[in-house]
Amino acid sequence: MTDSIQLNSAPPEAASALMRLAASDATVRRIAVLDLADLEDATLVPPLVAALRDDPSPEVRREAALVLSSWEQEDVVEALCAALLDADAGVREAAQQALAELKEPGSARVLRRWAARPESFARRAALRGLRELRDAAAFEPALAALADADAEVRLEAVAVLGWLKDVRAVAPLAALATADAHGAVRRAAAGALGFATVDEMNETHAGAALLHALADADWQVREEAATTLGKLRTPTARDALIHALADDYWQVRLRAARALGRLGDAHAATAVSALLAHPISNLRKEAALALGELPSAASLAPLRAALDDRDPEVRKAVRIALQQLAQRLDGRLDGRLAVWLEGGAP
């Protein structure tokens, strides 16, 4: 494993570590890998690659995979990808972790090739690495992976497309958000659509897909759909989001309230105001903040009543909302509230 020429020309510290790479004790070899990495010398990368490829100990190979993430030349990326097929699960996981930490755009060329491997773990790891690199050429491999038989591969593909923000992905992601067999994939697809514009959503019917996802059997899909609809400020989502305020899961109600605040449609104020009486304080707080975004005088009375909420964070949110409404309603407030806004007692 250790080249004699390299050993003879190496500095003393490196020479010592290189010699220990040939020790019979796996623990000694593992520490030698760490010592070589600490030297941060690119000329010492080949023995680290050799350790990853050839060492009989999984612990040594795992350590070599982890330290090699500091170097991103093509032979290292290729070696890390090859380690995705290692017989030891720990080595495979370490290689996947190292690939996910790559930052050099040139690494994407190798990863794109591995995204088409027959082994599902290798495909997942390659796509995860591509996600971090935001490589435009990864669009086609990721798009193809949306049809992968492995749900985890599809999840990674969705993440790649979400980061790339390519409008060509809107329609396929919308289809996945409603039709995938796995809730986690539907949820990820609904979230990934957040990069689109309202026009793009309308042109691809993706907005309708998100509204469909808002009624998904999986509450986490509904939560993500509400979040994305709010992020996109989709006007046609108002009624569906108001309906979601009565969802069985408070997390969905919270996201729906937040989304309605982002829409800024005053017609939602009465429905959102009802949440100020909910037993969960986080939901009351979110409802108050949303009401501050809705220019409706109907919000004033319930907000004023909520000034006495038992939770200080809710009371703070109520004060913020009232101050926002004071600006949005052009000063159309009763005298008592106006005094409070100026610092007096309510």
Alpha-carbon distance of 241 to 163, in angstroms, equals 26
Rounded to whole angstroms, how far apart are CA atoms 325 and 304? Answer: 12
Mean pLDDT of 107-128: 97
Burial 165-176 (b: 16+ CB within 10 A, else e): ebeebbbbbbbb
Whether the pLDDT of residue 346 is over 70: the answer is no
Do the domains 264-346 and 1-101 match in fold?
yes
Confidence band of 333 (pLDDT split at 50, 70, 90): low
Helix (H, G, I), strand (E, B) or coil at 24: coil
pLDDT band per the 50, 70, 90 thresholds, residue 297 = confident
- Average pLDDT estimate for 10-34: 93
Confidence of residue 11 (pLDDT cuts 50, 70, 90): confident
Does 154 have pLDDT greater than 60? yes
pLDDT digits (tens, 9 = 90+) for 84-100: 999 999 999 999 999 99
pTM (2 d.p.): 0.86
Q: What CATH topology corresponds to 1-101?
A: Leucine-rich Repeat Variant (1.25.10)
Structure tokens at 56: 């009989």
Domain 264-346 class in CATH: mainly alpha
On the question of pLDDT at 183 being above 90, the answer is yes
The domain limits of the chain are 1-101, 264-346
DSSP character string of 328-342: HTTT---HHHHHHHT
pLDDT at 327: 84
Q: Which of 51-55, 140-144, 340-344 has the lowest mean pLDDT?
A: 340-344
Contact 191, 224 (CB under 8 A): yes
pLDDT at 342: 52
Indicate if the pLDDT at residue 317 is higher than 50. yes
Q: Is the pLDDT of residue 343 over 60?
A: no
